[in-house]
A and B are shown apart, each in its own frame.
Chain A
Amino acid sequence: MGILTRGLVLFICAMMPGVAPAMAQTAQKPLSPTILRNLSVTADHSKFKELQGPFTAGPEVTKACLKCHNRAGEQLRDNIHWTWEYKDPRTGRELGKERVINAFCTNALGNEGMCAQCHAGFGRGGPDYDLNRLENIDCLACHDNTGKYFKTVVTPGHPKVRKKFTPKKPVPFTEAAQHVGLPTRTNCGKCHFYGGGGDNVKHGDLSSVLFDPPRDVDVHMSGRDKGGAGLVCIDCHVGEGHKWAGGHYRLNVGDDGKRPAGMPRRTLSCTQCHSEKPHRMTSLVGWRLNGHTDRVACETCHIPTFARGGVATKTFWDWSTAGRLKDGKPYAEEGYTQGDGKHRHTYASLKGTFEWGENLVPEYVWTNGEMDWLLPEDAFDPKKPVFINRPLGAPEDPNSRIMPFKVMKSVQPYDAGRNVLAHISLWGDDDAAFWGNFDFARAIAKGMKVAGRDYSGEFGFVHTRMFWPINHMVAPKEQALQCRDCHARDNGRLRNLAGFHLPGRDRWPWLDWLGGALALLTLLGALGHAILRIMRTTERT
Chain B
Amino acid sequence: MKRGTTMTTGNHATTADETLYRAKVQIFTLYERFWHWTQAALILLMLFTGFHLHGSLDLMSFRSAWELHVLAAIALMTLWVFTIFWQFATGNWRHFVPLLEESKHAPTLTQALRGWLTMIWRITRYYAWGIMRGEQHPYKKRLRRKHNPLQAFAYFGLMAFMGPLLWITGIALLTWDFWQNATALSTTEGWRTIAAFGHMLGAWLMLLFVIAHAYMATMGKTPSYLIRGMITGVEDIWLTEEELCYLRNFHPHRLLEVEKSASPVSSTA
Interface of A toward B, CB cutoff 8 Å:
283-285, 288, 291, 294, 395-398, 482-484, 487-489, 500-501, 503-508, 511-512, 514-516, 518-519, 522-523, 526, 529-530, 532-533, 536, 540
- B132-A483 in contact (CB<8A): no
- A532-B132 in contact (CB<8A): yes
Chain B 188-202 per-residue mask, 1 if CB under 8 angstroms from chain A, else 0: 010011001100110
Q: Given that A291-B177, A396-B184 are contacting pairs, would A501 and B196 also be in contact in the complex, using a CB cutoff of 8 Å?
A: yes
CB neighbors of A among B192-229 (8 A): 192-193, 196-197, 200-201, 203-205, 207-208, 211-212, 215, 218
B3 interfacial contact with A, CB 8 Å = no
**Which listed residue (A285, A488, A500, A530) contacts B67, Cβ 8 A?**
A285
- B185-A507 in contact (CB<8A): no
Q: Could you tell me the distance between the alpha carbons of A487 and B55 in the complex, rounded to whole angstroms?
A: 8
Interfacial chain B residues near A488, Cβ < 8 Å? 55, 62
- A515-B67 in contact (CB<8A): no
Q: Given that A284-B71, A396-B189 are contacting pairs, would A483 and B62 also be in contact in the complex, using a CB cutoff of 8 Å?
A: yes
Interfacial chain A residues near B181, Cβ < 8 Å? 398
Taking the nearest CB of chain B, how far is it from the CB of A302, in angstroms?
Answer: 16
B133 interfacial contact with A, CB 8 Å = yes
- Interface size on B, as a range, is 35 or more
Chain A residue, CB-CB nearest to B56: A512
- A504-B204 in contact (CB<8A): no
B260 interfacial contact with A, CB 8 Å = no
- B215-A483 in contact (CB<8A): no
Closest 9 CB pairs of A and B: A515-B204, A489-B55, A526-B215, A483-B62, A396-B186, A536-B132, A484-B62, A291-B177, A501-B193
CB neighbors of A among B125-168 (8 A): 131-134
Q: Give 27 CB contacts A-B under 8 Å.
A: A283-B67, A284-B71, A285-B66, A285-B67, A395-B189, A484-B61, A484-B62, A484-B63, A489-B55, A500-B189, A501-B193, A503-B173, A504-B55, A504-B62, A507-B54, A507-B55, A511-B200, A512-B54, A512-B56, A512-B204, A515-B201, A518-B208, A522-B215, A523-B211, A529-B215, A530-B218, A533-B132
Q: Could you tell me the distance between the alpha carbons of A516 and B207 in the complex, rounded to whole angstroms?
A: 9
B176 interfacial contact with A, CB 8 Å = yes
Taking the nearest CB of chain B, how far is it from the CB of A273, in angstroms?
Answer: 22
Q: Could you tell me the distance between the alpha carbons of A484 and B66 in the complex, rounded to whole angstroms?
A: 11
**Which listed residue (A284, A519, A533) contacts B207, Cβ 8 A?**
A519
Q: Could you tell me the distance between the alpha carbons of A284 and B75 in the complex, rounded to whole angstroms?
A: 14
- A540-B134 in contact (CB<8A): yes
Chain A residue, CB-CB nearest to B74: A284
Q: Could you tell me the distance between the alpha carbons of A519 and B51 in the complex, rounded to whole angstroms?
A: 14
Interfacial chain A residues near B56, Cβ < 8 Å? 512
CB neighbors of A among B27-66 (8 A): 53-56, 61-63, 66
- A511-B201 in contact (CB<8A): yes
Interfacial chain B residues near A511, Cβ < 8 Å? 197, 200-201, 204
B70 interfacial contact with A, CB 8 Å = yes
Interfacial chain B residues near A518, Cβ < 8 Å? 204, 208
Taking the nearest CB of chain A, how far is it from the CB of B8, in angstroms?
Answer: 27
Taking the nearest CB of chain B, how far is it from the CB of A529, in angstroms?
Answer: 7
Q: Could you tell me the distance between the alpha carbons of A516 and B193 in the complex, rounded to whole angstroms?
A: 21
Q: Could you tell me the distance between the alpha carbons of A541 and B53 in the complex, rounded to whole angstroms?
A: 48
Q: Could you tell me the distance between the alpha carbons of A483 and B53 in the complex, rounded to whole angstroms?
A: 10
Q: Could you tell me the distance between the alpha carbons of A504 and B58 in the complex, rounded to whole angstroms?
A: 11
Q: Given that A483-B61, A500-B189 are contacting pairs, would A505 and B212 also be in contact in the complex, using a CB cutoff of 8 Å?
A: no
Chain B residue, CB-CB nearest to A500: B189
Interfacial chain A residues near B200, Cβ < 8 Å? 507-508, 511-512, 515
Interfacial chain A residues near B207, Cβ < 8 Å? 515, 519
- A519-B61 in contact (CB<8A): no
- A536-B204 in contact (CB<8A): no
CB neighbors of A among B170-190 (8 A): 173, 176-177, 181, 184-186, 189
Interfacial chain B residues near A512, Cβ < 8 Å? 54, 56, 200, 204
- A519-B204 in contact (CB<8A): yes
Interfacial chain A residues near B211, Cβ < 8 Å? 519, 522-523, 526
Q: A396-B184, A488-B62, A512-B200 are in contact. List 4 more A-B contacts (CB 8 A).
A: A482-B62, A488-B55, A489-B55, A515-B205
Taking the nearest CB of chain A, how far is it from the CB of B107, in angstroms?
Answer: 37
- A503-B204 in contact (CB<8A): no
